[in-house]
Structure 1
């Protein structure tokens, strides 16, 4: 797009943002590779146990199926009946786009959009995705908090502050969705008054779709319980993958460190957390005697395996036209039985 003054075309702001994040990722990865022994990385990969590697991938597949079932609990509580097979496929589609779009939340948008096309309720579809994401985040922070109470000395002052900030963020999230008065006061702050695209009205209906979910206390408790199982399985996946490299560290440290790694990886400063995540691995696992090259290899292998598993979502996306029929059939059956 050319400028009115005849100058060179100006790139959109989002392109500048992506380029900056790519530069940050490249810089961080470059610094890590400069600091670690690349020969040791190759040696660590050469010792991989293919059986444990396959087991880790299998656990991760089951982990995502558990999370898809949890998402289904939320959707059912909202009054929609969608076949589990379709939700599982849709969950993998979201996972695929989360990994291959330059943002950690692109897959969530795809999931919400496709679900809304089936149910015809956009606010509820988006709300179900956010509830799924929020409960998973709260469960992750809860898991991190328990071992942190006993191993706080390993974190150091800087990481202890990060854990504290994570717990504070979780408390604010819970308060925002649990208390309409708190949400109204927070949204009334001047920082939230800027609304150039007129989206506040849509966000308000979206918020109430989430807020109303408080009525389903039994479902909410079940969703939180399954969220804990889901996050626990995700951490065990990483533990098994580390064992496949011959790295033996007590499981409790994975329950302490992996939530921090995942939380840091969600910071919008790099492409999908690339570079930031690997740096956190090296820093944290170095506290318990894991060499920098081994920690870096653990991070890269975990990311690689999870990315390969997410390719299932790309396969489901290619055959997406055949998927809604399976979901619609249960929706119609549920309506007929209701």
Structure 2
């Protein structure tokens, strides 16, 4: 039995299974959708509506940065009054300034949107800033910002499910209620993690993973002392998700389709579940099929539904490309800095040798 489970896990974790599942999903979608009509809809899109939708998407990105930044700065000691002005604090101010956080967020979009790695963006931010304040604090801030955005998504979805209860049915409405309740309990559990698990459990362990988990729990316990930061994070997360839904509505208008925001509020969370499937790369091909199916059920033509699915995939692409440029610039600056340090060291060594001679 153990060998069977090991083989099953190996198969589910195989990259070839994910690639094959993605190709099958895309093939099935292309075969059942009028791609010609979808292409014509995209080509004939009203650039004015599309530009407005991109502006709203940028605002949603700023909201995501604020969700993350307000928790991160709070855990780093930058969210309290009258901080101690020392070298470490100034270093935190430089690393966690809002322009730097926005740049880091855009670079994470490059890893998440343009590279086939679902957690690559979060991993990049953890490695980049974890060396300064600790990986546990970075992971806690990322988890908190994710939970704030997901809670906003859950409550927008619940509101839409109430309005669409005749269309989605009682079962889906109950599911939306459970989703919202789970997110509330997740926040409560995270904020009380140190009390639930107990500090002595972490103190007795010498494993690096548990030490990081201890830092994670202690960071959330620190958030309890800054309830204003939690409130800001959650409120901005809900507002940011609302702006994102509005952006999708306007993207649909750009191709001549009038879709209620309630449809997107219900459909997008369902499509995000497809990213968790083990037989596709980030749910590619599957999430588009799910979205097309839900939009056509709402009365949208198949061609227009496919065009909207493509727009949803491309929504964050411009910001990912901008993040790629920032990442390459950051890499060049680090290389130039390293070369300069080596040159200075060599010059100092030559000067010492000359002085000794």
User: TM tier, shorter chain?
Assistant: 0.7 to 0.9
- Say which of 139, 142, 145 aligns to 2:155: 142
1:251-330 counterparts in 2 under 5 A?
251-320=261-330
1:110 correspondence with 2:115: no
- In the TM superposition, residue 293 of structure 1 has moved relative to its aligned partner by 2.2
CA distance in 2, matches of 1:135, 1:323: 34
Q: Which residue of 2 aligns with 1:18?
A: 15
Q: CA deviation at 1:60?
A: 1.4
User: 1:149-298 to 2 correspondence within 5 Å?
Assistant: 149-156=162-169, 159-160=172-173, 163=176, 166-167=179-180, 169-180=182-193, 183-184=196-197, 199-298=209-308
Deviation of 1:66 after TM superposition, in Å, equals 2.4
Contact 1:74/1:219 (CA < 8 Å) preserved in 2? yes
Equivalences, count: 303
Aligned CA distance change for structure 1 residues 267 and 155 (closer, same or farther; 3 Å): farther
Asked if residue 67 in structure 1 is aligned to residue 81 in structure 2, the reply is no
Deviations 1:154-186 (A, max 9, x none): 22467556535533542442242133388539x
Q: What is the Cα-based RMSD across aligned positions, in Å? A: 2.9
Secondary structure at the residue paired with 1:72? helix
1:90 Cα deviation from its structure 2 partner: 0.4
Structure 2 gaps of 5+ residues are 1-8, 79-92, 202-206, 335-357
Question: Larger radius of gyration, structure 1 or 2?
Answer: 2
For normalisation by structure 2, the TM-score amounts to 0.75
Alignment check: 8 A CA contact 1:45 1:245 kept: yes
Distance in 2, matches of 1:251 and 1:50, equals 20
Q: CA 1:134 to 1:212, structure 2 compared with 1: closer, same or farther past 3 Å?
A: same
In terms of mean alpha carbon deviation, does 246-255 or 140-149 score higher? 246-255
How far, CA to CA, are the matches of 1:97 and 1:90 in structure 2? Answer: 11
In the TM superposition, residue 95 of structure 1 has moved relative to its aligned partner by 1.2
CA distance in structure 1 between the aligned counterparts of 2:179 and 2:110, rounded to whole angstroms: 26
In 1, Cα distance between equivalents of 2:174 and 2:283: 20
Q: Which 5+ residue runs of structure 1 have no aligned equivalent?
A: 1-11, 189-196, 325-338
Contact 2:193 2:217 in 1 (8 A): no
Q: Counterpart of 1:48 in 2: which secondary structure? A: coil
TM-score, normalising length: structure 1? 0.79
1:311 deviation in Å? 0.9
Q: Kindly state the Cα deviation for residue 285 of structure 1 after the two structures are TM-superposed.
A: 1.4
> How has the CA–CA distance of structure 1 residues 140 and 277 changed in structure 2, closer, same or farther, with 3 Å as cutoff?
same
